[in-house]
Amino acid sequence: MTIGIDPTVDFACKRLLGSPDHPAITLHFLNAVLGGEPPITTVQILNPIIGKSFDDDKASILDVLATDDHGRFIDIEIQTTLPAGLSERLTYYAASQLVEQLGEGDSYRELRPSIGICILDAILFRASPALHLDFQLRALSGELLTDCLQIHLLELPKYEPDADNGVIADPILQWIHFFRFAATSSADDLRQILPDPVFSEATGVLEMIARNPEEKRFYESRLKMQRDEKARLEAAEERGEAIGRVRVLQSLAGVAESTIEDLRMRSSEELAAMEVALKHQLRERS
């Protein structure tokens, strides 16, 4: 029987990585992403999700804010779409987390690294085959200026599992596989591919959400919100493409091009009708 709970839903992700009841899961994930050098042995969740500390408020903060035993500040979030300005927003949050450390009279030497980790169920950097992208302040020749500002992206859709379904050794690939396939796998399937005990614990968290009526209800409300947002962005993208096609066809037909603002005021049906009429006009001219 499949688990049926998708860890890319923000609520499930925070249950996995932002609960003080499951520090081993958070530690394993952070060591996988940050390379384990130096190894993280303890982590404190600064905004834990505990008990009934969730509701149906759309503004609920479901990022995970944490600090580790090296004093680093870490923000973990899940994104299932590519909203406009995602790169800039990730940079802004990491930079804000850095700036907020200093008070009046504090020394810059007291700054600890600010790290943003985004688990992205979409592809932002299509030209790169890398599943894990590590952004830091470096010279073109490779010299590291400082480790005080870091952003890590895990681009889930780039991952393709091996055909033999063998044990996955790489910690990053273990987590990417878990986020991509846990919902459609059974607990036994995951144990065979991900034998580390931390993934049995992570699987148990998802199964707990499925069994708890209140948490399942909240999970489903967040899942609906994410699906609605994805549909909205896809519709906006399709509408933008339709506007672009109309303007190209108008140019080819030698008619005055409508402004983008004018076309945005038209319905999808009107844009489709304009496209059909312009194509007919071009065919007749040929």
The confidence score (pLDDT) of residue 205 equals: 97
| Three-point CA angle 40, 175, 1, nearest 5° | 135
Evaluate if residue 61 carries a pLDDT over 70. no
| Token pair 């071009």: residue | 282
The confidence score (pLDDT) of residue 52 equals: 54
- Round to the nearest angstrom and report the end-to-end CA distance of the chain: 60
Instruction: Determine how β-strand 144-155 pairs with β-strand 114-120.
Output: parallel
> What is the rounded (10 degree) CA torsion for 6, 203, 165, 30?
90
User: What is the residue-wise DSSP string for 61-80?
Assistant: ---EEEEETT--EEEEEEES
Interval 204-254: pLDDT, tens = 999 999 999 999 999 999 999 988 888 887 788 888 888 888 888 888 888
Q: Which two tokens stand for residue 265?
A: 């005021």
**If we measure between CA atoms, which residue out of 224, 221, 218, 199 comes closest to residue 3?**
199
The confidence score (pLDDT) of residue 59 equals: 44
Evaluate if residue 74 carries a pLDDT over 90. yes
Q: Quick one: average pLDDT of 2-10? A: 96
| Token pair 């834990």: residue | 48
Q: Which two tokens stand for residue 240?
A: 């933008």
The confidence score (pLDDT) of residue 50 equals: 62
Residue 75's φ and ψ, nearest 5 degrees, are -115, 125
Check: CB of residue 246 under 8 Å from CB of residue 235.
no
pTM: 0.83
The C-alpha atoms of residue 55 and residue 52 are separated, in whole angstroms, by: 8
